[in-house]
Structure 1
Amino acid sequence: MESKRKDIRALTKEELRDFFVGQGDKAFRGNQVYEWLWIKGAHDFESMTNLSKQTRALLDEHFVINHIAVDQIQKSEDGTLKNAVALHDGLIVESVLIPTETRTTACVSSQVGCSLDCAFCATAQLKRMRNLNPDEIYDQVMAIHKESQLYYNRPLSNIVFMGMGEPLMNYNNVLAAVDKITSKEGLGMSPKRIVVSTSGVPKMIKKLADDEVKFNLAVSLHSAIQETREKIMPFAKRFTLDDLRESLEYWYAKTKRRITYEYVVWKDINDSEEAIDALVKFCQYVPCKVNIIEYNPIGDDQFKQADDATLDRYIKKLEAKRIPVTVRRSRGKDIDAACGQLANKH
């Protein structure tokens, strides 16, 4: 019966080898299957053409491949692609391919919905339905890698965990997915080309440092004033700026890698001189850079993009303290693929 068959990608290579030995076959058969699953991205056993029909039937008897399916692709006028990704249980997540002249970036999801409650984000309104498994995260990356080759004639170059979900609330699965993505038995991508973005979970940021991860860390900050941050990101009542600061100092002491702060500026929310000065002060605790991100409306009138003059005031004060700052214009807004817009509208 279907329910008794295990998802084969939950097995390690050693467990696959042991399975074949237990069936009276050679251990290297497990290596072949592992390569089909992870490097070649096989969706079914029939496509494993260097295995005998008998071996493929044996696999089909014992296992399933709970592979994602790209249910729908939308293309933006700026070249951005958004995938609606169907999971094996019928749930949907979204991932995005963002092309520039020099790189292709995959923006991937880590949860169905989100564990947190940021008021300005469409994904947060979905609430968390479940965590994604490592293979489901990996599949999103592999799908975008193939799309990059198909549509832009180049391989995927960068990955950001900035899609649906809070990655650090799905810690083990995200790290397992990154291990597979960076492995020579997976995509072989350098961890330096991967950014994991968090809304700021201090305990888990410290755990990242203790686990000596090699990827880069970004924090969605949006205000360095506790009261303001609580209004736009209510979970910040539990994860205060003081605790966040301490965890980031711990991260830098352990890793010596600077933080990226993601920061949206809204009219009448964080556009005052007090807000700017608070960010500048917060940025001086650990080496960092600031990405000022264009706001992408989600239909809530309380959040309005601040004017360019306000952004210029932020930039001047940050640069005066030699804090690197860039303004990141959003991509894929016309297909709801930009930051904060992923909400499975289709």
Structure 2
Amino acid sequence: MTAGATLPLLGQNLSALETWAIQHGQPAFRGRQIHDGLYAKGARSLDQLTVLPKAWRQQLQADPPKGASDWLGRSRELQRSVARDGTTKLLLATADGLSLEAVGIPAPGRLTVCVSSQVGCPMACRFCATGKGGLQRSLAVHEIVDQVLSVREVMGERPSHVVFMGMGEPLLNVDAVLDAIGCLCEDLGMAQRQITVSTVGVPHTLPTLAERALQRLGRAQFTLAVSLHAPNQSLRENLIPTARAYPIEALLDDCRRYVAITGRRVSFEYILLGGLNDQTHHATALARLLRGFQSHVNLIPYNPIEEEDFKRPSPATVEAFRQALRASRTAVSVRASRGLDADAACGQLRRRHQAVAQAGG
């Protein structure tokens, strides 16, 4: 956001907040106090910024920014789902009455926050609950950053990693995603290498992402994760309808250009769907497709959703696939499944909440 913009203050950096304070008749250090209250203390309202003069707080509360409910820009929690393993999914309400998901995934020595970049998603991947409802809009910077703060507040722990793997396609909201990464690094003290941006692929955007990251962030050290989910074009089209307009070879060519611009390897995500794309011959074909690539494959056993009858592969099948990739000298890991007893798949909690609301429950 630009300095002094009359938009929610969350998402603005220290310099912008100092300028904003001065423009509102206050000394610059009031901006520093707001910055500390927002990012270090996680303030949810002006009332919680008690270091600010009471009269000024009352004046601001009487005149909120146009198009926003208040100055800070924090969300409201609608629903919470906590799995036995501690994975916590939050359904958050935006100022205009929409809802989005954020997930906190705890592990020994780390807390990963999975954030959304859009309300809904236009990509319509068959295995994803989010895409079943289409796209409502992209999220603003403050709505992305708020997800990290909300998970931190609920779980009582400082997040160590952030992954843009929630609702939406990040490359259809590039500017807000990059500005949010800048905020997470500059204002919350995270490192770019602790952040992952996941995409199913949007034509001609990966080189642009690399160039804009260098322009906006000064470097592109976050991890790019590209969702392949198939070793050939026909199977990929079956799973990802938008792949018809973006052939797999064109996607890989753009990945190579991204690597050339940034010097960073690409991680490829591959959801294993029982009996469909999880056989060893699929692994061999995938290794052949990625040969010569500076890359890593992250295998993801499928989390079932009600709308599709895809099956979750057996542990033996997952291990055989992994071993086949390793035998082909392809770097590979298997993502541990988390929150399976609590609407684990992306978009499920939101869809359940919408169904209850529509039924009047």
Pairing 1:214–2:221 present: yes
Q: Is the 8 A contact 2:121 2:130 kept in 1?
A: yes
Pairing 1:259–2:266 present: yes
Q: How far 1:246 sits from its partner (Å)?
A: 0.8
| Letter aligned with residue 234 of structure 1 | P
Q: How far 1:299 sits from its partner (Å)?
A: 2.4
Q: Which whole-Å CA distance do the structure 2 matches of 1:6 and 1:280 have between them?
A: 48
What is the TM-score normalised by the length of structure 1? 0.89
Q: How far 1:85 sits from its partner (Å)?
A: 0.8
Which position in structure 2 is the counterpart of 1:234?
A: 241
Aligned mate of 2:184, from 181, 185, 200: 181
Q: Which whole-Å CA distance do the structure 2 matches of 1:89 and 1:107 have between them?
A: 22
Aligned mate of 1:162, from 159, 165, 171: 165
Q: How far 1:126 sits from its partner (Å)?
A: 1.4
Superposition CA RMSD, Å: 2.2
Pairing 1:87–2:102 present: no
Which position in structure 1 is the counterpart of 2:356?
A: none
Q: Which whole-Å CA distance do the structure 2 matches of 1:206 and 1:237 have between them?
A: 20
Q: How far 1:189 sits from its partner (Å)?
A: 0.7
SS for the counterpart of 2:176 is helix
**Larger mean Cα displacement after TM superposition, 317-326 or 83-92:** 317-326
SS for the counterpart of 1:173 is helix
Q: Is the 8 A contact 1:126 1:343 kept in 2?
A: no
Which position in structure 2 is the counterpart of 1:190?
A: 191
SS for the counterpart of 2:62 is helix
Q: Is the 8 A contact 1:36 1:48 kept in 2?
A: yes
Q: Is the 8 A contact 2:18 2:29 kept in 1?
A: yes
Percent identity for Structure 1 against Structure 2: 38
For structure 1, the residue ranges without an aligned partner over 5 or more in a row are none
For structure 2, the residue ranges without an aligned partner over 5 or more in a row are 1-5, 65-69, 215-219, 354-361
| Letter aligned with residue 319 of structure 1 | R
Q: How far 1:56 sits from its partner (Å)?
A: 1.1
Q: How far 1:158 sits from its partner (Å)?
A: 1.1
Pairing 1:50–2:51 present: yes
Please give the per-residue CA displacement for 1:85-128, whole angstroms capped at 9, x wherever unaligned. 11111111111111112311111111111121101110110111
**Larger mean Cα displacement after TM superposition, 14-23 or 158-167:** 14-23
Pairing 1:144–2:151 present: yes
Q: Is the 8 A contact 1:296 1:341 kept in 2?
A: no
Q: How far 1:272 sits from its partner (Å)?
A: 4.6
Q: Is the 8 A contact 1:104 1:148 kept in 2?
A: no
Q: Which whole-Å CA distance do the structure 2 matches of 1:224 and 1:340 have between them?
A: 26
Which position in structure 2 is the counterpart of 1:133?
A: 140
SS for the counterpart of 2:112 is strand
Q: Which whole-Å CA distance do the structure 1 matches of 2:337 and 2:171 have between them?
A: 24
What is the TM-score normalised by the length of structure 2? 0.86
Report the count of equivalent residues.
336
Aligned mate of 2:175, from 167, 172, 175: 172
SS for the counterpart of 2:210 is helix
Relative to 1, partners in 2 of residues 1:86 and 1:262: Cα closer, same or farther, differing over 3 Å?
Answer: same
Q: Which whole-Å CA distance do the structure 2 matches of 1:59 and 1:102 have between them?
A: 40
Q: How far 1:15 sits from its partner (Å)?
A: 5.2
SS for the counterpart of 2:79 is strand
| Letter aligned with residue 251 of structure 1 | Y
Relative to 1, partners in 2 of residues 1:304 and 1:11: Cα closer, same or farther, differing over 3 Å?
Answer: closer
Q: Which whole-Å CA distance do the structure 1 matches of 2:332 and 2:25 have between them?
A: 61
Relative to 1, partners in 2 of residues 1:296 and 1:61: Cα closer, same or farther, differing over 3 Å?
Answer: same
Q: Is the 8 A contact 1:249 1:285 kept in 2?
A: no
